[in-house]
Amino acid sequence: MYTVKFNELKVFMHNILKKLGMTESNIETVVDIYIEITKRGVGHHDIHNFPSRVERLMSGKITVNPEFSLLASYGCMESWDGDNGLGELINTFLMERAVSLAQDHGIGFSTVRNSNHYLASSPYTTQATERGCIGIVIAKGPPSMGVPGTDGKVIGQSPVGFAFPTKREWPVILDICLAYASGEQLLRRAKGGQPVPEWWGVGPDGRPTSDAEQLLRGTKYPIGGHKGFGLAILCELLTGVFSQGPVLDEQEGPDMAWKSSSHTAVAIKADALMDMDSYIGRSSDLIDRIDARAPSIHIPGQHSYKNKVEFERSASIDISGELFDKLNQCAKALNVEGLAIL
């Protein structure tokens, strides 16, 4: 383990992205998202993903400074082409558009094709809460979930997230996929030798398994079987179809117009139907009443906020030797200064 200061990490990432030719404004957006998301303390879809992103930027697989183009708009809805840029940049832009549309219409719906993985949904959903909106984000991915009663992978596991403001210091944040467990969660269980519930999916032999490694090589099931499956169909519609991107398992569109992924951001103006004080009062009543009925459970968002506060107090993070090496390999390849440790 190496202890790294967040400020050093920021400078390090900045230097790398600058060397790749990214504009200052784009660098600021991307670095902020990595830092913000790393402070959640989930241990994946954060700084761990930076080296592979750099690799894709270096090899030209992702556009460094994408130019977004509006495909269509109608009232509170817009669809965009993301120019195959970083998902982090595109989803920030997308939620900004959704919030702006929500200011005018109450709701904003902004969808994009030809984008890339955006890490996790919380930076974008909280972007909405900071501007007085409820934020919802839905992503499309390739088929990774099965359906009980049939073999093989049928549909994407539909990462979805939302956040909404209350009177508390932290917004309520949910960041999930519609499978019982994401690949990352299974990987952690597999590494720790922890079993998984048998209803989470099937191994490569098509049989229920409690072995996380078998499940990783097999097929995950949707939450609640046909229920999660049905919700995933709606998510596919609102991302792939509405963005004019690929649907379900399509690989690429005409002229490679959408060789990569689609996602959708929705913002709902919290004070559209009542003043902000009333909204905050009532959304807080909701959370307080859940707390009162189940004092022992965490409200979604509570735990990651605690992590964030602790990280901000220490202003540093411990990273593994493996990650440290990977980050410094990026630096070396680009001939920029390596990451300093405490």
x/- map, 15-34, its own copies, by CB under 8 A: --------------------
Give 267 or 339: the residue with its C-beta nearer to its own copies: 267
Q: Which stretch binds its own copies (CB under 8 A): 21-29, 241-249, 314-322, 327-335?
A: 241-249
Q: Which of 142, 203, 230, 338 binds its own copies (CB under 8 A)?
A: 230
Q: Does 72 bind its own copies (CB under 8 A)?
A: yes
Q: Does 7 bind its own copies (CB under 8 A)?
A: no
Q: Which of 92, 157, 260, 283 binds its own copies (CB under 8 A)?
A: 283
Give 130 or 250: the residue with its C-beta nearer to its own copies: 250
Residues 143-162 that bind its own copies (CB under 8 A): 143, 147, 149-150, 152-155, 162
Give 241 or 333: the residue with its C-beta nearer to its own copies: 241
User: How many chain residues bind its own copies (CB under 8 A)?
Assistant: 74
Supply the minimum distance, in Å, between the C-beta of residue 52 and its own copies: 26
Q: Which of 1, 297, 315, 341 binds its own copies (CB under 8 A)?
A: 297
Q: Does 183 bind its own copies (CB under 8 A)?
A: no
Q: Which stretch binds its own copies (CB under 8 A): 38-46, 203-211, 235-243, 309-317?
A: 235-243
Q: Which of 21, 43, 75, 204 binds its own copies (CB under 8 A)?
A: 75
Q: Are 113 and 79 in contact (CB under 8 A)?
A: yes
Residues 78-117 that bind its own copies (CB under 8 A): 78-79, 104-107, 109, 111
Burial class of residue 174 (count of CB atoms within 10 Å of its CB; 0-12, 13-18, 19+): middle
Q: Which of 217, 227, 306, 332 binds its own copies (CB under 8 A)?
A: 227
CA distance 125 to 136: 6
Q: Does 325 bind its own copies (CB under 8 A)?
A: no
CA distance 112 to 4: 35
- The half-sphere exposure of 336 on its side-chain side, counting CA atoms within 13 A, is 19
Q: Are 158 and 138 in contact (CB under 8 A)?
A: yes
Give 234 or 315: the residue with its C-beta nearer to its own copies: 234
Q: Which stretch binds its own copies (CB under 8 A): 15-23, 203-211, 282-290, 324-332?
A: 282-290
